[in-house]
Chains A and B, each alone.
Chain A
Amino acid sequence: MKPFLEVKNLSVSFPTQDGLVKASNDISFSVARGETLAVVGESGSGKSVTSLAVMGLHNRNATNISGQAILNLETGPIDTISASPEAVRKLRGKSMAMIFQDPMSALHPYYSIGDQIAEAWGLYNEGSKADGIKRAVEMLDLVGIPGASKRVKEFPHQFSGGMRQRVMIAMALVNNPSLLIADEPTTALDVTVQSQILKLLKDMQEEFNMAVILITHDLGVVAEVADRACVMYAGKIVEQSAIDDIYYLPDHPYTIGLLNSIPRVDQLEGKRLLAIPGQPPSLISLPRGCSFRSRCTYSELVPNNKCATEVPNLDEKISGHFSRCHLTEAQLVEARTSAGGQA
């Protein structure tokens, strides 16, 4: 079966006074229905920019976008990058929907929750306003908001952070979308509420058989909910694989470094954290060769200064496991174990 979304060689850049900001470069991935793909990266790695491009939410006059983002609909494939803004608008909400990080600024403060959900429903359904409100109550019930019939009349400020995020999810799912992009859906929430929301997303995915793209910087969250993951660094995918391989057999020095730099609540030895030295490069003047080179501990192992001169390709080292690095597999095994062993 074809995956629902296929992103091919997608690049997004922004012309600015200081130069061209290459926010995301040559991104390719796919997600099938019922599957969760995590896009992991730190701020500025290009994870949100990529997803906004898929949704057609960039201002086309101020952004250079190339590549394809193909939705395989029942009616045939459509590329959201080349399609007209009008056509993409007809996909949003119904074929693809998005949940944003900050539920306070993503909800309209002047309209009641019910009005906002009913409006989204009304875009694709025939029916009166009352029907829309009825549907909104059903959705609020589904996402676990107690007293939905009463709360549907309330305004965003009357909800707590976790409840607002539930409202966002209800609104995104009201038209039963095939693809859901969740951009840091739990970053603003406390851990106990985060686990509620992650469980809710998982349940909703099963109920609607959605393809889900989860954008996050939290490797703990990724481990819990994703089937596959892309790790992004400085606008490029540096590693992509099934979830267990990312954690147990990471194939890129950045992924290895990232895993070693996070303290873990399940490890009490109090080992010193192995921080990645330095900071990410500017997206305006990316270094030649590998973007991670200046922070990479292993680049000396590669002969002929190749890391400084040649951009590594995203190669499939083993089936389904892609990595963008010049190191040989033997050297990577060495790197994994010397870094403290993520076994």
Chain B
Amino acid sequence: MTEPILKLEGLKKHFESTSGGIFNRKKGTVKAVDGIDLEILPGETVGLVGESGCGKTTAGRTVLKLYEPTEGKIIFQGQDITNLSRRQMKPLRAQMQMIFQDPFASLNPRQTVGTLIGATFDIQGIKPPGGVKQEVERLMERVGLNPEHVNRYPHEFSGGQRQRIGVARAIALKPKLIVADEPVSALDVSIQAQVVNLLDDLQEEFGLAYLFVAHDLSVVQHISDRVVVMYLGKVMEQADKKDLFLSPRHPYTKALLSAVPVPDPIKGRSRERIILVGDLPSPMNPPSGCVFNTRCWKVQDKCRVEVPALIQIAPNHRLACHFPEPA
């Protein structure tokens, strides 16, 4: 069996919320990520989906130790990196990179594209053969940007092009793992497809593993090999793409899938739709028992009291529900 590139064991990230002021009393804990177990193999894409506030972005950032994990283990290429210091992390960062959601906020407006992409080499003290400038131009070409634009500033590019700059920066050091946090959600449909295809091609070329964090199930379905569905910090279901999309077992997964509009009017009219009532509860004060019980249409007394454990129901298929849908 291939060694996973990344392994998470019961990963948790809790944020303490305080009242501010001179006493700064503790008000409560937001359990943004409350236990993720996951393995990502080299060259594989794992999609992490859920609605806003479900903790998917926090999870992605914690994996790269941009946040210190509260509990659990992060094992990267066989090495436990959970408690490594910033300095110890630095050489490893060449192997793990991030693509950010907002191509407007994630690029320094005062730096040229050349400086932005080239900085990755300076920070890691790597001298690419042929020099930084040549390598930057090669990277720009690879992601579909005109290398002549190397001295331009981010504002001179469109959203799609800016996201390509972000991608070039992420692949510059030939990482093994890229955490992509909503990389295409800020882009227009026709541009979105270009960037998704680019990510696909790069994966094939470099054997990259992606942790693809997104709320758009259509995109996740397209790009992922496996999918993790989160709700209020907890994993509801995780499975191979086919299993998850064809026979979802968790009521939340089922409702989520049925809510995605399909660009096909006849199918759309005939599709059975599960409309969930209400909104996501506050993560400050999550419901007792199963966190989904306030919106679940199959809820029973047990769900309000007992937290369902995430159990293996088939190879590669884990589920946290007392009353799952039939397979």
- A contacts, CB < 8 Å to B: 42-43, 146, 160-163, 190-196, 198-199, 217-224, 243-244, 247, 257-259, 261-266, 268, 270, 272-277, 279
Contact yes or no, A275 B218, CB < 8 A: no
Asked, given contacts A192-B51, A268-B246, whether A220 binds B263 with beta carbons under 8 Å apart, the answer is yes
Contact yes or no, A247 B263, CB < 8 A: yes
Asked, given contacts A162-B279, A192-B276, A265-B217, whether A223 binds B264 with beta carbons under 8 Å apart, the answer is yes
Contact yes or no, A257 B245, CB < 8 A: no
1/0 per residue, CB under 8 A from A, across B200-234: the answer is: 10000000000000010111011100000000000
A196: chain B residues at CB < 8 Å are: 275-277
> Closest A-chain residue to B266, C-beta based?
A244
Residue in B191, B200, B219, B261 whose CB lies within 8 Å of A272: B200
Contact yes or no, B266 A220, CB < 8 A: no
Asked, given contacts A191-B256, A195-B259, whether A261 binds B192 with beta carbons under 8 Å apart, the answer is yes
Q: How far is the CA of A244 from the CA of B197 in the complex (A)?
A: 28
Q: How far is the CA of A219 from the CA of B217 in the complex (A)?
A: 14
> Closest B-chain residue to A271, C-beta based?
B222
Interchain residue pairs with CB less than 8 A apart (17): A42-B190, A163-B279, A190-B51, A190-B52, A191-B215, A191-B260, A195-B273, A196-B275, A219-B263, A244-B265, A258-B190, A259-B263, A263-B196, A264-B262, A273-B196, A279-B161, A279-B191
Q: How far is the CA of A273 from the CA of B190 in the complex (A)?
A: 10
Is residue B302 within 8 Å, beta carbon to beta carbon, of the partner chain?
Answer: no
A257: chain B residues at CB < 8 Å are: 190
Q: How far is the CA of A277 from the CA of B258 in the complex (A)?
A: 31
Contact yes or no, B193 A275, CB < 8 A: yes
Contact yes or no, B189 A219, CB < 8 A: yes
Is residue B188 within 8 Å, beta carbon to beta carbon, of the partner chain?
Answer: yes
> Closest B-chain residue to A264, C-beta based?
B218
Main SS of chain B's interface residues? helix
Chain A: minimal CB distance from B203 (Å) = 12
Residue in B197, B222, B265 whose CB lies within 8 Å of A247: B265
Q: How far is the CA of A302 from the CA of B193 in the complex (A)?
A: 27
Is residue B70 within 8 Å, beta carbon to beta carbon, of the partner chain?
Answer: no
Q: Which among B189, B255, B275 has the highest number of chain A CB atoms within 10 Å?
A: B189
Q: How large is the interface on B (under 10, 10 to 19, 20 to 34, 35 or more residues)?
A: 35 or more
Contact yes or no, A223 B188, CB < 8 A: no
Q: Please give 9 more A-B residue pairs, beta carbons under 8 A apart, in addition to A259-B263, A265-B218, A275-B197.
A: A195-B258, A195-B273, A199-B275, A224-B261, A224-B268, A244-B266, A264-B218, A266-B262, A275-B193
Chain B: minimal CB distance from A107 (Å) = 17
Q: How far is the CA of A154 from the CA of B28 in the complex (A)?
A: 24
Chain B: minimal CB distance from A256 (Å) = 11
Contact yes or no, B276 A42, CB < 8 A: no
Is residue B147 within 8 Å, beta carbon to beta carbon, of the partner chain?
Answer: no
A247: chain B residues at CB < 8 Å are: 263-265
> Closest B-chain residue to A45, C-beta based?
B188
Q: How far is the CA of A265 from the CA of B215 in the complex (A)?
A: 12
Q: How far is the CA of A217 from the CA of B241 in the complex (A)?
A: 26
Contact yes or no, A43 B263, CB < 8 A: no
Is residue B267 within 8 Å, beta carbon to beta carbon, of the partner chain?
Answer: yes
A277: chain B residues at CB < 8 Å are: 194
Chain A: minimal CB distance from B180 (Å) = 15
Contact yes or no, A268 B193, CB < 8 A: no
Q: Which among A43, A191, A219, A259 has the highest number of chain B CB atoms within 10 Å?
A: A191
Is residue B310 within 8 Å, beta carbon to beta carbon, of the partner chain?
Answer: no
Contact yes or no, B193 A218, CB < 8 A: no
Contact yes or no, A243 B265, CB < 8 A: yes
Q: Which among B194, B217, B265, B267 has the highest number of chain A CB atoms within 10 Å?
A: B265
Chain B: minimal CB distance from A326 (Å) = 21
Q: How far is the CA of A188 from the CA of B155 in the complex (A)?
A: 24
Contact yes or no, B242 A266, CB < 8 A: no
